[in-house]
Homo-oligomer: A and B are copies of this chain.
């Protein structure tokens, strides 16, 4: 049976939202076992006793890693933290995948130091699925911040894993791969990006060349590969720009004249379809590619829905044996 380890104590709405999502997903995953790691007393209050069958289990832990904790120190010193114990279950083979909404740095540290890297992968990279214009499955961008400094070879590894992920999970054969750079020409960027360009060009990947910030949501490539520093800035800039725009849109409609307010009521359905296009919840969370198990980080502010979809995403990754396919790619 596939088993997913869930850090029940991370995120703004923990553990309630996590338990809600788990209870909703459980009935739809008959072949999967879900283990919640966290405050046993609190979790037991939220879960009907009858639900604690062979498919749902609680493992009581006494510590929690906070957002402000220094990641590496936290996983070393808080040995009974929900995240740390969950990662140890994966390492020991008692679970196959890991989900957390908590401190991203601590999740990366726990994944790398406890679960371990795939042999042949130098550095894991973090990859969300984001919305793209005219697409129902979005695009994937890697790395968005697991690495503050990136070497060209890392980018090639990430591109390989991301392309494989997109084929398995989104059903796209030979997905297009673009390199985020500061111009379209082959010689653009700093030496890291110039070398990455050559590595990608010489690979088996369907490399479509350099792309720029304005190409991301336009859906210019199925996979965008980027150094972790730039990818982090690009991801947060997308979130921030969309957030400010939608906020201002709401403000002008709600604070307008009576005519505007009536109009706002009439366009309500159209606007919610717009919101749906840019709703990334259904894509699940950001996957850490390059470690020895499916590991996904979901936004700390997530409520039930995105967590539910992340559980589906992890279950699909296990069903498709995505990690096995990554391992085969990097076998020497």
Report chain B residues within 8 Å CB of A229: 182, 189-190, 193, 230
Choice from B182, B226, B238 contacting A232 with Cβ under 8 Å: B182
Chain B residue at minimum C-beta to C-beta distance from A244: B217
Stretch at the interface among A22-30, A265-273, A318-326: A265-273
Interface contact A240-B214, CB-CB below 8 Å: yes
Interface: A278 (CB within 8 A): yes
Report how many copies the assembly holds: 2
Interface: A172 (CB within 8 A): no
Interface: A206 (CB within 8 A): no
Interface contact B214-A133, CB-CB below 8 Å: no
Secondary structure dominating the interface of A: helix
Q: Known contacts being A182-B228, A236-B212, A242-B245, is A260 close to B253, with CB within 8 Å?
A: no
Interface: A213 (CB within 8 A): yes
**Chain A interface residues toward B at CB < 8 A:** 133, 145, 148-149, 180, 182, 188-191, 193, 212-218, 226, 228-230, 232-249, 252-253, 256-257, 259-260, 262-271, 273-274, 277-278
> Which 6 pairs of residues, A with B, have the shortest CB-CB distance?
A263-B266, A213-B236, A214-B240, A213-B237, A263-B267, A241-B241
